Structures are given as C-alpha cells and as structure tokens.
C-alpha cells in the first residue's frame, strides 16, 4: 500500500515539471505578443508622447530639474524591460535646447552650450504609453542601457536607415 503514495507523489512531480516546462514558452510567447502590441502603440502615440515630453520639460514646476525650450528626437527607438518589475520602456535619443535662464546655469551644458544630448524615457504603463518628461542626460539610448545593465534588458530595437 505504501508504494501507491510514492507512485502518486512521483506522478504529481512529473505533472508539475511538465506544466512548468510548458508554461515557460507560453509565457515567453505571451510576453512577445504584448511587446509587439506595445511597440505598435508607441508608434501610434509617438507624436503625442514627444509633445508631452517637451511640454513637461518646459514647465516651471519641475523641482531641481533643468528646463528646456524644445527638443529634436531621433527616429531610432530602443525598448527595454526593467528586470525587477517587468516594466517596458522606450528610449529615444533627443537633443534638447536648454533654457538659458535655468538656476545657476545648471541647464546649460559645458561651455554654456544651450544644447544637451540625452535619452528621452517613455514608459508603458498599464496598457498605454506615458512620459514624465525624464531625460537621461549625456547618454545615448545604447549608453544608458549599458550603464543600467543590471536593471534593464534590451528587448527590441528599431533603427531607421537614412538614405
């Protein structure tokens, strides 16, 4: 009679391992489909997102953050996922024209240059894209991903070839 319990336990373990092995590719395919949908949504909303990014950067109510006047966005997009939270973000290179009246000249780059390069950050938040106007200054998207490699993983990249 005791061998029945061992047999039942062995079958339960085999079923659990089988389910785990099946769920892994299903979860990966679900995650890929979700990413593809988010990528399409980003392109549909990109103009609005860039305008909101610039609007938030020109707002005077951003504590301890440099203000800018305008921004010129690159066409290329790098998509990253936060390793801890799974949150998806889009990184786009941006050249920002800084407000020269910024506090203590913090807004101006080296040598008083009004233009600063950086990476605009857009987040996929619960089914739609958002931005809080955050820029990672002095790093291109590729450099930002390398710098934050412990926290971020690259999940996709779109490079527009200029002819």
Instruction: Check: CB of residue 135 under 8 Å from CB of residue 50.
Output: no
Query: Looking at the domain assignment, is residue 19 inside a domain?
Result: no
Query: Looking at the domain assignment, is residue 24 inside a domain?
Result: no
Q: Which of 130, 156, 126 is nearest to 141 (CA)?
A: 156
Tokens at 47, concatenated: 């103009």
Query: Looking at the domain assignment, is residue 1 inside a domain?
Result: no
Residue 64 falls in which region: left (phi positive, over 0), alpha (psi -120 to 50) or beta: left
Q: Residue 73: enclosing H or E segment and its boundaries?
A: strand 68-73
Query: Looking at the domain assignment, is residue 132 inside a domain?
Result: yes
Tokens at 61, concatenated: 């109510």
- Given pLDDT bands bounded at 50, 70 and 90, which one contains residue 104? very low
Structural domain count of the chain: 1
- Backbone φ and ψ for 7, nearest 5 degrees, come out as -65, -45
Q: Tell me the C-alpha distance between 54 and 50, whole Å.
A: 6
- Given pLDDT bands bounded at 50, 70 and 90, which one contains residue 13? confident
Instruction: Check: CB of residue 121 under 8 Å from CB of residue 134.
Output: yes
Query: Looking at the domain assignment, is residue 30 inside a domain?
Result: no
Query: Looking at the domain assignment, is residue 80 inside a domain?
Result: yes
Question: How many of the other CB atoms lie within 10 Å of CB of 104?
Answer: 6
| Res 1: pLDDT | 55
Range of the domain at 117: 46-158
Contacts of 118 (CB under 8 A, 6+ apart): 93, 94, 96, 135, 136, 137, 138, 139
Report pTM: 0.77
pLDDT digits (tens, 9 = 90+) for 110-143: 556 788 999 999 999 878 999 999 999 999 999 9
Query: Looking at the domain assignment, is residue 39 inside a domain?
Result: no
Query: Looking at the domain assignment, is residue 41 inside a domain?
Result: no
- Backbone φ and ψ for 10, nearest 5 degrees, come out as -65, -40
């Amino acid at each position: 009679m005791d061998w029945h319990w061992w047999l039942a336990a062995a079958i339960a373990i085999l079923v659990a391992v089988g389910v785990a092995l099946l769920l892994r590719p299903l979860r990966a395919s679900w995650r890929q489909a979700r990413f593809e949908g988010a990528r399409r949504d980003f392109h549909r909303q990109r103009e609005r997102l860039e305008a909101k990014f610039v609007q938030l950067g020109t707002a005077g109510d951003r504590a301890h953050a440099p203000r800018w006047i305008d921004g010129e966005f690159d066409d290329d997009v790098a998509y990253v996922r936060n390793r801890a939270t799974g949150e998806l973000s889009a990184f786009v290179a941006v050249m920002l024209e800084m407000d020269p009246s910024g506090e203590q000249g913090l807004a101006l780059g080296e040598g008083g240059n009004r233009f600063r390069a950086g990476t605009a950050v857009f987040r996929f938040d619960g089914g739609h894209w958002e931005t809080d106007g955050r820029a990672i200054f002095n790093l291109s998207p590729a450099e930002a991903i390398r710098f934050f490699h412990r926290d971020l993983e690259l999940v996709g990249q779109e490079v527009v070839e200029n002819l």
